[in-house]
Amino acid sequence: MTVPALEVTGLHRFFGGLPAVCDVSMRVPAGERRLLLGPNGAGKTTLFNLVAGDFPPSRGEIRIFGENVTRKTADQRTHLGMARTYQIITLFAKNTLLHNVVMSLMGLLRLRFNPLSDIRRQKTLWDEARATLALVGLEHLADRTVADTSYGEKRRLEIAMALAQKPKLLLLDEPLAGLSADERRDIQRLLQTIPREVTIIMIEHDMDVALAFADVITVMQRGQIVVEGNRADVVADPKTREVYLGH
């Protein structure tokens, strides 16, 4: 049996005694496009935070490509091939787009621990960063500061920084949130160009996006998985209607 890209078993996370994630188990095969749907407060981002290592689960187990990472740091998980974006954009606003991608690339290199290294002399690093910006259509803005770019361009930059880490597992937390219709189409086209060697799990609210993107859809509510299956099954399930329409 092929080792899944991600497997979580019996995952719980409590905050002050309140369950944010409650007994979640999920298996995502390598190469799959998985979409997490659900209303605000459903536990989707908390689940991402647990998988990424931003904080530990209260109970349960997390495996990335078969390796138990439940007690590993976020940095250790990155070196196993995991990268993520955040619901709230986290970029270096005063630096250029190119410098942001270089910083992301350095996250996987030993020279980041060398106080004598001068990254300005690392031509290969800068060339790779420019090539990564080209993947998301931002090479023409490489020398512009993040503060001077549009919201949609910031979203694309964040994806570029994640791709710079050459992930095998990519977690996207609402990459379409707050975008115009044209910007949403640009990001959707960008996601379609990512090769199947990269497993993608994406959080989204929009059912139309789910239908266009996902192989499998997981619907969460109140910290639990309530529906899971292919597009047709999820749309037909009455629990999906209950989550989105309240009846």
Give the pLDDT confidence score for residue 235 in this predicted structure.
85
Residue range of the domain that includes 45: 1-81+167-247
Give the pLDDT confidence score for residue 111 in this predicted structure.
47
Give the pLDDT confidence score for residue 116 in this predicted structure.
40
Q: Are residues 19 and 68 in the same domain?
A: yes
Structure tokens at 204: 């989204």
Q: Is residue 105 part of a domain?
A: yes
Give the pLDDT confidence score for residue 247 in this predicted structure.
53
Q: Is residue 172 part of a domain?
A: yes
Lowest average pLDDT, out of 58-67, 179-188, 191-200, 216-225, goes to 179-188
Query: Residue 85 above 70 pLDDT?
Result: yes
Taking each helix axis from N to C end, the angle separating 181-193 and 151-164, rounded to the nearest 10 degrees, works out to 10
Q: Are residues 103 and 224 in the same domain?
A: no
Residues, the chain, total?
Answer: 247
Rounded CA separation 228/36 (Å): 9
pTM of the predicted model as reported, rounded to 2 decimal places: 0.89
* DSSP secondary structure, 172-223, as one string: EESTTTT--HHHHHHHHHHHHHS-TTSEEEEE-S-HHHHHHH-SEEEEEETT
Domain boundary among 142, 166, 190: 166
Structural domains counted in the chain: 2
Rounded average pLDDT over 139-150:
95
Q: Are residues 10 and 67 in the same domain?
A: yes
β-pairing, 82-84 vs 6-15, is unpaired
Q: Are residues 178 and 151 in the same domain?
A: no
Give the pLDDT confidence score for residue 176 in this predicted structure.
86
Q: Are residues 116 and 54 in the same domain?
A: no
Q: What is the CATH number of the domain that holds 24?
A: 3.40.50.300
Q: Is residue 86 part of a domain?
A: no
Query: Residue 92 above 90 pLDDT?
Result: no
Q: Are residues 98 and 121 in the same domain?
A: yes
- In tens, the pLDDT along 106-140 reads 876 654 444 445 566 678 889 999 999 998 999 99
Q: Are residues 97 and 66 in the same domain?
A: no
Cβ pair 28, 35 in contact under 8 A = no
Lowest average pLDDT, out of 17-21, 178-182, 196-200, 243-247, goes to 243-247
Q: Are residues 111 and 210 in the same domain?
A: no
Cβ pair 158, 85 in contact under 8 A = yes
Domain boundary among 166, 184, 205: 166
